[in-house]
Amino acid sequence: MNRQIVKLFGLVVVLFAVLIGFTSYWSVFDAQALREKNANKRPLLEQQQIQRGRILAADGTVIAHSVAKGHGSGKRYVRRYPQGRLYGHPIGYSFVQYGNSEFERFHNDELVGNESEFSSILDQLRGRNQQGNDIVTNLDPAAQATALADLEEAGFGAVVAIEPQSGRVKVMASNPPYDPNRVPYEFSKLSTNEIERPLFDRATQGQYPPGSTFKVVTAAAGLESGTITPETPIDAPGSLEVEGTPLENDFGESFPGATLDTALTNSVNTWFGQLGQQLGEDTLFEYMEKFGFNSTPAIDLPSGEVYKSGVFDGEELLNANDPVDLARVAIGQERLAVTPLQMALVTAAVANKGKEMKPQIWSRVVDPDGRVTKRLEPSQYSQPISAKTAEELTTAMEGVVTEGTGTNAAIPGVPVAGKTGTAETPGNEACGGGEEENQAWFIGFAPADDPKIAIAATVECTEEFGNDVAAPIFRDVAETILNGE
Amino acid sequence: MSARNRELMALVPVALLLTAGFAAVFAQENAQLDNLSLTYGAYFFAVCLATHFYLRVRLPNADPYLFPLVALLMAFGLVMVYRIDASLARDQANWFVLGLVLFAATIHFLRDYDVLERYRYTIAVVGLLLLMAPRLPGIGQQVNGAYLGVKIGPLAFQPAEFSKICLVVFLASYLREHREVLIVGARRVLGVTLPPLKHFGPMLVVWGASMFMLVFIRDLGSSLMFFAAFLALLYVATGRFSFVVIGMAMFLVGAWFFAATVPHVHDRVEVWLNPYPHARGSGYQVLQSIFAQADGGLFGRGFGQSLITIPGTDNALLPAAQTDTIYSLIVNELGLFGACAVILTYLLIAARGFKIALLADDGFSKLLATGLTAVFAIQAFVIVGGVTRVIPLTGVTLPFISYGGSSIVANFVLLALLLLVSDRARREGAA
């Protein structure tokens, strides 16, 4: 029997080795993935034992802070948002039951003070409690409030305002908003509201047809590729047969021998449709991609909560090899879907002499002792167009505001460059299926000769045009920011 | 050095470890060192010393490492349970002392343990009655859907813990007598060696008992533990691997059938295979157990650092931390290294147990030592395997570490039997 006993012991050794194998897998090899599981509240609960850092607006207004509740072993910190719904987007929320979202999620490590595994072990050895860092953002409270108030009057939509030279995000508003303080009490109501979708950040996730605002991209590609100059005339008839359907101008107006300024000022569809066809799909897509289309914008928000812009076939992003109706892409129709953030980035690139900066909400990280440990250093994402092209575009965009389709964006005493857009979305289910539904846009920057702010504003499901609902929002937000300078 | 002196030397570091463990928990809870930890360490050492001297007198030749290894597990358990709840640890310490009293009594009354052979059928019946007791009206208790507890007046216990010893004693005795016929009478049918039908009857009874447990006690864990111990003994007794394969096939078929028909068993298996859809319900325990381990890493978070309840509430974050999932708590606080130390301790106990079986002369002693060691090792495997998702999670205790009187007392009786076999084997070996 001894031989069998030895074999049986061998089996026990194997079985226990399996136990050690599984334990190693859970505790070390798969640990990171398990910590990130949605069902796993342990890391959050542990973080709740730590005083999470504050989130501040650019002027020091407290957007989020943590307060202690309970005592002894039941002591924990709970998140509070003193500004309520004003910063629900893009700051997000942080609650044990519902996890972290948006800015709170992206900057979690800094907010809870997870500098590195090594230093936190050191802190433990020294008996120091882990403490979170504060983060100061670039958000401008007055402008954020203006943007949200205007949006609430105009309809669902979003506003993004970026400082062109640095990529600092000064406004990111989405309507309808939500109050992050209410998340623990009405999460299911907030998350299942399919009509308003308040938890959905329209600034980074709303994928809308850009309409005529996209003509800025088409024009940029035309100028930069040398296909046209500001003086190149293109005959633009009132109606043009494209892919079997007529492409028409507003009121069927024709513009014989029009140049860029005239075409952009009057938002001439047949002019840009022909330009798109002249550019060819490769060139147009090349410039779209340089502006950041087809990629997730490099903003400090979780990548899963920032959507791409481009020409979509259902869920799938198309590239230069896929068949598209180029003339209609060129005027912002076809299956183009863009986020307000992406359009703000295009505008900011034009405003910044063709250099597109990475958009960033955070500005600096301050440790519990008040020392600034990290400071935003603006970095360039790309340079889609030259300074010369940018200047030529700016001139054309100024015409839009002074004498063209976007006169409501004008600010007394300040030159403004911009572009309106009104994409028709009849039968849009998200709007309730009405026939008079538009996606209204305005993108622009000011002052045109020395840009301080680039803004994209959009309103969904409206019967009005870009100049009527979106341009005034641009004007109010730009004025607020320029007055605060 | 004599066996008993080695035992004495081994107990000293165990007592020191316990003292250090308590000191660490105190330091964490009160942010200061408390000489209470020294007092607890001294009590623990005194109890171990008393046991040691009893063994010195009664079983001078018994294996010197088993008791210190068990004391190490006890020390682990006491510190962990204290860290969860001080009043539970007091109970646990009382169970420890009571377990040692029964340990001494077993050694006292069963010095000639051959007497067990004479009463083997009685013991088998007692074992089965113990198993059925939790289903008896009035005294049975249902815990988490399984019928494992019995409550008579103020006394509550889990009879399965004692029943496993009865089963091993019966099987060791039965197989000692019938192993020859089982080997010789075996026939080959279609290339498979089958045991003779006549002697296979009692084997079917054991299989039936395991299936019975699955259906009526509804506990996959004890069922698996009992049947695995049976197969281990059958294999050692006959040397026929084919018997084990047939047995395993029978168990799997039975388990599969009942998993498909008994909702409680089915849920456990479903949750084991795919816990995430049940994250807020029946999968909560196993998932939280895994999550607790994920937070342990290599070195753990340190004594007293783990969250067991959701702060500010009484809701468990790690359900049954003092019993079923205590291993996950150990991984969380002491890391992979601490967990390996625990597993290694069990492995060393198994090694010493099988060594006793190898040294024993007579068939009954060999099979008894093998069976006791096997059932002990399998029990550790079933619960650690359960919380690490190797097998479905069931409510078996982690021997000598989990909180629970029945488990501690029964396992001390098991230890006493092993030491009895060991003492005789080594005495005869020395003579």
Q: Identify the pLDDT of residue B301.
A: 81
CB of B370 within 8 Å of any CB in chain A? yes
pLDDT band at A120 (very low <50, low <70, confident <90, very high): low
The DSSP result for B266-324, as a single string, is HHHHHHHH--GGGTTTTTHHHHHHHHHHHTTTTT-S-TT-S--B-TTS--BSSTTTTTT
Query: Could you tell me the pTM of the whole model?
Result: 0.68
DSSP category for residue A259? -
The answer to whether residue B28 neighbours chain A at the CB level (below 8 Å) is no
* A223-264 residue pLDDT tens: 999 999 999 999 999 988 888 888 889 888 999 999 999 999
Q: Which residues of B touch A42 (CB under 8 A)?
A: 288, 291-292, 294-295, 307, 317
Report the candidate in A177, A38, A11, A27 with the shortest Cα–Cα distance to residue A98.
A38
List beta partners, residue A172. A160
Side-chain-side CA neighbours of residue A453 (13 Å): 27
In angstroms, the separation between the Cα of residue B194 and the nearest Cα of chain A is 19
Q: Which of A23, A48, A96 lies at the smallest CB-CB distance from B331?
A: A23
Among candidate residues A49, A91, A51, the one with its CA nearest the CA of residue A74: A49
- Percentages helix, strand, coil for chain A, rounded to the nearest 5? 45, 20, 35
Answer yes or no: is A36 within a domain.
Answer: no
The answer to whether residues A228 and A114 belong to one domain is no
What residues pair up with A321 in beta bridges, in sequence order?
A: none
What are B367's two structure tokens? Answer: 């099979």
> Does B287 have pLDDT greater than 70?
yes
Cα A356 to the chain's mean position, in Å? 14
Average pLDDT over residues A295-320: 92
Structure tokens at A268: 């001439």
Residue pLDDT, tens place only, A74-109: 678 889 999 999 999 999 999 877 888 999 999 998
Q: Which site among A6, A26, A36 would you substitute to test the B interface, given the most B Cβ atoms closer than 10 Å to its Cβ? A: A26
Whether A29 is in a domain gets the answer: no
Residue range of the domain that includes B198? 114-261
At B31, the pLDDT band (50, 70, 90 cuts) reads low
- Residue A128 resides in a domain: no
pLDDT tens for each residue of B321-375: 888 899 999 999 989 999 999 999 999 999 999 999 999 989 999 999 999 999 9
Q: For position A125, what pLDDT does the model report? A: 47
Query: Both tokens of residue B236?
Result: 């050692």
Q: In terms of C-beta density within 10 A (0-12 exposed, 13-18 middle, 19 or more buried), how is residue B144 classed?
A: middle
Distance from CA of A417 to the nearest CA of B (A): 53
For the cut 50, the answer to whether the pLDDT of residue B28 exceeds it is yes
Cis check for the bond before A447: say yes or no (omega within 30 of 0).
yes
Q: Where are the alpha helices (DSSP H) in A230-377?
A: 260-265, 269-291, 326-330, 340-351
Instruction: Examine the domain organization and report whether A153 and A207 are in the same domain.
Output: yes
Q: How many CB atoms lie within 10 A of CB B319?
A: 17
pLDDT at residue A66, as a whole number: 92
Residues B323 and A102: their CA atoms lie apart, in Å, by 39
Contact B369, B349 (CB under 8 A): no
Which residues are registered as beta bridge partners of A442?
A: A420, A457
Residue B256's pLDDT is 83
Residue B196 or A422, more confident: A422
* B237 touches A at CB < 8 Å: yes
Report the residue of chain A nearest B27, measured CA to CA.
A127
Average pLDDT, chain A: 91
Residue B429 lies in a domain: no
Q: In which band, very low, low, confident or very high, does the pLDDT at A344 lie, cut at 50, 70 and 90?
A: very high
Specify the 3-state DSSP secondary structure of A248.
Answer: strand
- The pLDDT value given to residue A159: 97
| Domain assignment present for B424 | no
Q: How far is CA B314 from CA A73, A197, A311, B317, in A?
A: 12, 34, 52, 9
| Token pair belonging to A48 | 């709740």
Same domain, A174 and A102: no
The SS3 assignment for B406 reads helix
Chain A contacts of B310, Cβ < 8 Å?
Answer: 41, 45, 96
Report the residue from B276, B310, B336 with minimal CB separation from A45.
B310
Phi first, then psi, for residue A353 (nearest 5°) are 55, 35
Minimal-distance CA residue of chain A relative to B310: A45
Instruction: Let me know if residue A430 belongs to a domain.
Output: yes
Contacts of A4 in chain B (CB under 8 A): 235-236, 239
- What does residue B336 show for φ and ψ, rounded to 5 degrees? -60, -35
Pairwise CA distance, residues A39 & B287, whole Å: 8
Residue B206 lies in a domain: yes
CB contact under 8 A, B311 and A46: no
Residue A355 shares a structural domain with residue A216: yes
Chain A interface includes B365 (CB < 8 A):
no
Read off the tokens for B147.
């019928």
Q: What is the pLDDT of residues A437-465, one digit of tens each?
A: 899 999 999 999 999 999 999 999 898 89
pLDDT for residue B191: 65
Residue A84 within any structural domain of the chain: yes
Lowest mean per-residue pLDDT among A123-137, A332-346, B103-117, B172-186: A123-137
| Residues A417, A480 within the same domain | yes
Q: What would the mean pLDDT of B169-187 be, rounded to a whole number?
A: 83
User: Cα-flanking dihedrals φ and ψ of residue A77, to 5°?
Assistant: -110, 140
Q: Which carries the bigger pLDDT value, residue B41 or residue A283?
A: A283
Paired strand residues for A134: A366
Per-residue pLDDT reduced to its tens digit, A143-169: 999 999 999 999 999 999 999 999 999
Q: What confidence category does residue A377 fall into, taking pLDDT thresholds of 50, 70 and 90?
A: very high
Task: Please state, in angstroms and rounded to a whole number, the distance separating the CA atoms of residues A21 and B85.
Answer: 30
**A146 and A117 part of one domain:** no
> Cβ B381–A8 below 8 Å, yes or no?
no
Q: A208 and A319: one domain?
A: yes
Asked if the model's pLDDT at residue A119 lies above 60, the reply is no
* Assigned domain for B42 exists: no
The answer for B 385-424 residues in CB contact with A (under 8 A) is 385, 388-390
Q: Are residues A75 and A163 in the same domain?
A: no
- Kindly state whether residue B126 falls inside one of the protein's structural domains: yes
* Residue A155, domain extent: 141-179+190-484
The confidence score (pLDDT) of residue B35 equals 72
Rounded to an integer, what distance in angstroms lies between the CA atom of residue A226 and that of residue A222? Answer: 6
Neighbouring CB atoms inside 10 A of B266's CB total: 13
- Give the pLDDT confidence score for residue B108 in this predicted structure: 94
- Residue B75 tokens read as 């020390």
Same domain, A63 and A148: no
Q: What is the CATH number of the domain that holds A277?
A: 3.40.710.10
pLDDT, residue A150, reads 96
Query: In the numeric block, which tokens belong to residue B376?
Result: 């002990």
The more confidently predicted of residues A9 and A68 is A9
- For residue A1, being part of any structural domain is answered with no
pLDDT tens digit sequence for B231-279: 999 899 988 888 888 888 888 888 788 778 877 778 888 889 999 888 8
The stretch B403-422 carries a mean pLDDT of 94
Nearest by Cα to A180 from A70, A103, A76, A74? A103
**Which chain A residues contact residue B381 at CB under 8 A?**
12, 15-16, 19
Has residue B116 got a pLDDT over 80? yes
Closest Cβ–Cβ partner in A8, A22, A69 for B236: A8
What is the distance in angstroms between the Cα of A98 and the nearest Cα belonging to chain B? 13
* pLDDT: which is higher, A484 or A212: A212
**Which one has a higher pLDDT value, B303 or A358?**
A358
Regarding whether A194 and A90 lie in a shared domain, the answer is no
Please provide the DSSP assignment of A428-462 as one string: -GGGTS-SS-EEEEEEEEESTTS--EEEEEEEEEE
In a domain, B37, yes or no: no
Residue B140 has pLDDT above 60, yes or no: yes
- Residue A293's pLDDT is what? 96
Under an 8 A CB cutoff, do A73 and B311 touch?
A: yes
The whole-number pLDDT of residue A46 equals 80
Length in residues, chain A? 485
> Is A314 a member of any domain?
yes
Beta strand pairing call for A55-56 and A134-137: parallel
Q: Which among B83, B235, B290 is the top mutation candidate for probing chain A, defined by the most A β-carbons within 10 Å of its own β-carbon?
A: B290
B307 vs A: CB within 8 A: yes
Interface contact A19-B385, CB threshold 8 A = yes
- CB B75 within 8 Å of CB B18: yes
State which residue of chain A sits closest to B176, comparing Cα positions. Answer: A1
What's the CA gap between B113 and A479, in Å, rounded?
97
Structural domain includes residue A102: yes
Q: Per-residue pLDDT tens for A165-208? A: 999 999 999 999 999 999 999 988 888 887 888 999 999 999 99
Of A55-64, A218-227, B14-23, B185-194, which range is least confident? B185-194
At residue B145 the predicted structure's pLDDT band, cuts being 50, 70 and 90, is low
What is the pLDDT, as a whole number, of residue B143? Answer: 63
Q: How many domains does chain A have?
A: 2
Would the CB atoms of B287 and A70 count as touching at under 8 Å?
Answer: no
Q: For B45-172, where are the E strands, in sequence order? A: 140-143, 146-152, 155-157
Which member of A22, A42, A74 has the closest CB to residue B388? A22
| Cα–Cα distance measured from residue A380 to residue A383, given in angstroms and rounded to the nearest whole number | 8
Half-sphere exposure of B332 (CA within 13 A, CB side): 28
Distance CA A179, CA A92 (A): 9
Comparing CB atoms, the residue among A1, A41, A73 nearest residue B237 is A1
- Comparing alpha-carbon positions, the chain A residue that sits nearest to B333 is A27
Beta bridge partners of B152: B155
Asked whether the predicted pLDDT for residue B223 surpasses 90, the reply is no
Instruction: Give the CA dihedral B279, B285, B286, B288, nearest 10 degrees.
Output: 80
> What pLDDT does B387 receive?
94
Dist CA B238 CA A471 (whole Å):
91
Could you tell me which chain A residue has the CA closest to the CA of B317? A42
Q: How many domains in chain B?
A: 1
Q: Which of A264-268, A384-388, A430-434, B367-371 has the lowest mean pLDDT?
A: A430-434
Question: A161 and A56: one domain?
Answer: no
Per-residue confidence (pLDDT) for residue A372, from 0 to 100: 92
Residues A108 and A150 in one domain: no
Instruction: Measure in Å the smallest separation between the Cα of A16 and chain B Cα atoms.
Output: 7
Is the pLDDT at A127 greater than 60, yes or no?
no
* Least reliable range by pLDDT among A27-41, B136-150, B292-306, B394-408: B136-150
* B421/chain A closest Cα distance in angstroms: 15
Query: Among partner residues A6, A27, A45, which is closest to B294 by beta-carbon distance?
Result: A27
- Calpha distance B188→A211 (Å, rounded): 83
pLDDT-above-70 percentage for chain B: 91
Most B CBs within 10 Å: which of A3, A5, A14, as the mutation test of the B interface? A5
| Non-local CB neighbours of A390 within 8 Å, separated by 6+ positions | A349, A350, A351, A352, A353, A354
Provide, rounded to the nearest whole percent, the portion of chain B with pLDDT above 90. 38
pLDDT higher than threshold 70 for residue B202 = no
Could you give the percent of chain A with pLDDT greater than 90? 72
Nearest-by-CA chain A residue for B306: A46
Q: Does B350 touch chain A (CB under 8 A)?
A: yes
Report the residue from B294, B310, B377 with minimal CB separation from A34: B294
Q: For position A95, which CATH number holds?
A: 3.90.1310.10
